[in-house]
Amino acid sequence: MSRLVVVSNRVADPRKAAAAGGLAVALGDALSVRGGLWFGWSGTVVEGGTPGEGEMHSQQAGNVTLTTVDLCREDHDSYYLGYSNGVLWPVFHYRLDLADFDAGFIGGYRRVNQMLAHKLMPQLLPDDIIWVHDYHLIPMAAELRAMGCKNRIGFFLHIPLPPPLILAAIPQHEWLVRALFSYDVVGFQSEADVAHFSRYVGQEVGAEALDQHQFRAFGRTVHAQAFPIGIDVDEFAALTHGKEARDMFESMKEEYSRRRLLLGVERLDYSKGLPQRLRTFQKLLQKYPENLNSATLIQIASPSREALDTYSGLRQELESLCGSINGDFGELDWMPVRYIHRNVARKRLPGLYRVARVALVTPLRDGMNLVAKEFIAAQDPADPGVLVLSRFAGAAEQLKEALLVNPYDTDGTADSIQRALQMPLPERQARHQKLLASIRSQDVHWWRKTFLDALTGVDTSDHRR
Ligand SMILES: O=P(O)(O)OC[C@H]1O[C@H](O[C@H]2O[C@H](CO)[C@@H](O)[C@H](O)[C@H]2O)[C@H](O)[C@@H](O)[C@@H]1O
Ligand SMILES: O=c1ccn([C@@H]2O[C@H](COP(=O)(O)OP(=O)(O)O)[C@@H](O)[C@H]2O)c(=O)[nH]1
């Protein structure tokens, strides 16, 4: 079997609990099954280093070699904070209003992609299969091809692809899409993303659709398809019975047998719809007063990208909303919102998921959202909680038996939460059974296998010439 080389901005030791963020968790799972090389940024920022240069480190983690590169401050700020998270992240999540189209960022984005490609190229073996991940690294294949790389290279976009006219707001949109044609396979999270890609390449660059998945433009053919990412259901169910999760469950169970727990878990990111969720919870308390002194929202919002103003501003907005809801509705012995601005270890989360009556997964836009799938995996099938899920999360294409909501509709979402809180046991069980079957049939192993099967199966003659 060919060696698998995974390239992603974040690299994490698969043997240790991964940092918050679904990508690191899923790639750790994918690589530890097959072994190989995981290559990317070390997470270290060197003050005063030289742009385009970075020290490389290598270590062995079981059957996976982790090779990482440091970034100097200037590269980190223009590549990661600037272009990746100041331009691509907001625009790909449909937030043109939050994008910062500073012309200086693109230079750093190209420079870091070039540097990473130069450091990776000498490590490659002729029949390695290369799998590049996410918006930070779109030009990686083009850079490798420019150095003569003829390997099979696939790309998976973990975040949504917006409709053509939104994508076209990025000054370098055509360059980015041209770069995608240096890959053999381009994977998306949902059918909606594939439809946007198909419309973009048809309208903006005159691509020819050879069949449902094959698009030809710039003298190259690319295979584009949806491969919705999943979780390792058995691993997560096992975590649910582990010590950390059981301790969490026991400590919360008593209090929440008297009260009803609603739960939100995510990075503190504007794509996750947190202010809208708090306003919806406020509406629930106003409209359905039987929830006073009872319904409690635990909101875990783990710190993310705090150097960006959009993120620090969001934190302030959220803290002020939590304070005003607790001030208006709280009692001496009950606070409606428990807000935690820290990362909670992944091993402890299943215990929390299992105590919750309702999970609120209500992003305004999300590539997939693995928390929705983890919540389902952690439930007791005999007495499961209810998933309230935004129709704008990639996961909504698969999880039809959740209560699907429009997070912009505060009233309608409050009604759905009330319905979830009152849902009879047989309906909860029936919905959970179908949701569990869905996350089992398309789990993280299915995701890895279907993507890699597509990548090893496509005709790569364009790149071998
Ligand atoms: O690396 P960070 O800047 O700290 O951000 C964490 C990760 O966030 C994004 O995750 C996405 O991938 C998930 C798994 O496919 C998906 O479920 C979720 O909807 C996406 O938002 C980002 O795409 C990753 O690159 C980041 O590492
Ligand atoms: O305090 C936290 C918050 C989140 N997570 C994990 O981070 C991942 C979040 O992935 P998701 O796809 O939901 O969103 P992303 O952050 O990647 O956009 C999930 O595995 C969560 O269990 C965690 O371990 N601790």
ipTM of the complex: 0.98
* 17 has pLDDT over 70: no
Measure the CA–CA gap between 262 and 385, rounded to whole angstroms: 10
Instruction: Judge if the beta carbon of residue 25 lies within 6 A of ligand 2.
Output: yes
Protein residue with its CA nearest to atom 24 in ligand 2: 346
pLDDT score at 330: 98
Rounded to an integer, the average pLDDT of 454-462 is 90
Catalytic residue among 93, 158, 196, 223: 158
Taking a C-beta distance cutoff of 8 angstroms, is the pair 81, 102 a contact? no
pLDDT score, position 1: 79
Question: For the chain, which domains are there?
Answer: 4-230+445-458 (3.40.50.2000), 233-441 (3.40.50.2000)
Q: What is the pLDDT of residue 22?
A: 64
Q: Which of 366, 432, 443, 463 is catalytic?
A: 366
Q: How far apart are CA 7 and CA 100, in angstroms?
A: 26
Residue 20 pLDDT level (bands cut at 50, 70, 90): very low
425 CA distance to ligand 1 centroid (A)?
Answer: 34
pLDDT at 40 > cutoff 90? yes
Q: What does pLDDT average to over the chain?
A: 95
* Mean pLDDT of the 188-216 span: 97
Paired sense of beta strands 56-61 and 64-72, if any: antiparallel
**How far is 27 from 23, CA to CA, in rounded Å?**
6
E strands, 49-178, are 56-61, 64-72, 129-133, 152-156
Residue 118 designated active-site: no
Of the candidates 410, 404, 398, the residue with the CA atom closest to the CA atom of residue 439: 398
Which residues is 58 bridged to in the sheet? Answer: 67
Residue 87 has pLDDT above 90, yes or no: yes
CA of 369, closest atom in ligand 1: 17
Percentage of the chain exceeding pLDDT 70: 98
Q: How far does the centroid of ligand 2 lie from the alpha carbon of residue 347, in Å?
A: 12
Active site residue 136: no
Query: How many C-alpha atoms does 368 have within 13 Å on its Cβ side?
Result: 27
pLDDT tens per residue, range 351-361? 999 999 999 99
pLDDT (average), residues 51-67: 95
Verify whether ligand 1 is closer than 6 Å to residue 365 (CB atom).
no
For range 165-193, the mean pLDDT? 98
pLDDT of residue 256: 82
Q: 185 pairs with which residues across the strands? A: 154, 223
Residue 343: what are its φ and ψ, rounded to 5°? -80, 130
Please compute the mean of the pLDDT values over residues 337-341 and round it to a whole number: 97
Q: Which ligand is nearest to the CA of 373?
A: 2
Would you tell me how many other CB atoms lie within 10 Å of the CB of residue 410? 18
For residue 281, what pLDDT is reported?
98
Beta strands in 227-293 (DSSP E): 260-267
138-149, pLDDT tens digit by residue? 999 999 999 999
Taking the C-alpha atoms of residue 319 and residue 327, their distance in angstroms, rounded to an integer, is: 12
Q: Looking at residues 418-423, what average pLDDT do you find?
A: 98
Contact 46, 54 (CB under 8 A): yes
Q: How far is the CA of 371 from the centre of ligand 1 (A)?
A: 12
Average pLDDT rounded to a whole number, residues 380-391: 98
**Can you give the pLDDT at residue 21?**
55
Torsion of CA 326, 331, 337, 343, to 10 degrees: 110
pLDDT band at 18 (very low <50, low <70, confident <90, very high): low
Q: Across the chain, how many H-helices and E-strands are there? A: 18, 16
Rg (the chain; Cα; Å): 22
> Given pLDDT bands bounded at 50, 70 and 90, which one contains residue 464?
low
Mutate to test the pocket of ligand 2, among 370, 439, 443 (most ligand atoms within 8 A of CB): 370
Tell me if 368 CB under 6 Å of ligand 2. yes
Position 23 pLDDT exceeds 80 = no
User: What is residue 152's predicted lDDT score, i.e. its pLDDT?
Assistant: 97
Residue 57 in this model has a pLDDT that exceeds 90: yes
Q: CA 370 to CA 398: how far, in whole Å? A: 12
CA distance 344 to 5: 30
